[in-house]
Structure 1
Amino acid sequence: MDLDDIWVMFLHELSSYRHYHSVKKQIYTGVPFLYIQVAENTNTSQEDIETTIKKAAARSMKGKRLHSETIFVRQEQHLFVYRHRFYVPQEKMFCCGNLCVNCVRLRNKK
């Protein structure tokens, strides 16, 4: 699974919303930022944009073991900027021998 493919699907999904004039991803210092330009003649709120981001991310991640995180950064007139990332959940992948409660050996016995 390549995160670039997930990003392509995600950006395509977001671009399909009719209230968005443009959607693009920019990476600064290794952190991906999402720039959403809203059409001027619409009353699209920040909450509406965050809802569409969550829906598009869910569709892009469907069937994959991923999570997403979106944090609002700023707004300039009709431009909204978010810090958005997809990440793989961190969990134990091997037994360390310390009899941990969340040991991978006990995963199938629940």
Structure 2
Amino acid sequence: MNNNPVDLFTKRLATAPGRPFERLDRRQFAGVTFLYFFPAEESLRRPLEEFLNREAAKFTENTELRHELGYVRTSRHGLVYRFRLLVPDEKSFCCGNLCPDCIRLRNR
């Protein structure tokens, strides 16, 4: 079983109740994930984006992850979005350079 968070998220979307699309394809180009949505009705971007942001917020709830969703284009392949899950940009180890934000100085 693949535990890639983006794969888990796309599986969750594909089975979510009330989803405003008929089919979802996930493609990756140069390390960037693109989600292709085939809407149930003609080009309903706003309801789809609201649904995606709501589901992504639920998916990342109680984690340090946050999501980034960006509309790319509408094509014959449906609505295309770039999707990323981002981790916090903070140090997780001591490098020994006496940094002012060293992890050793954090309050636990």
Identify the TM-score tier after normalising by the shorter chain: 0.7 to 0.9
Inter-partner Cα distance in structure 2 for 1:82 and 1:39? 16
SS at match of 1:91: coil
- Cα distance, 1:43 vs structure 2: 6.8
Pair 31,91 (structure 1): closer, same or farther in 2 beyond 3 Å: same
SS in 1 for 2:48: helix
Does residue 73 of structure 1 match 2:72? Answer: yes
Give the match for residue 98 of structure 1: 98
- 1:32 equivalent to 2:33? Answer yes
- Normalising by structure 2, report the TM-score: 0.75
Mapped pair 1:82 → 2:81: yes
How many residue pairs align between the two structures? 104
The share of aligned pairs that are identical, in percent, is 32
Structure 2 runs not aligned, ≥5 long: none
RMSD between aligned alpha carbons? 2.5
Greater helix proportion: 1
Deviations, residues 67-101 of structure 1 (Å, cap 9, x unaligned):
2111110013782101101122221123344341x
TM, length-normalised to structure 1 = 0.74
For the 8 Å contact 1:25–1:32, the answer to whether it is kept is yes
* Cα separation, partners in 2 of 1:107 and 1:3, compared to 1, 3 Å: farther
In the alignment, structure 1 segments of 5+ residues that lack a partner are none
1:18 Cα deviation (Å)? 3.6
What is the rounded CA distance, in whole Å, between the counterparts of 2:73 and 2:24 in structure 1? 15
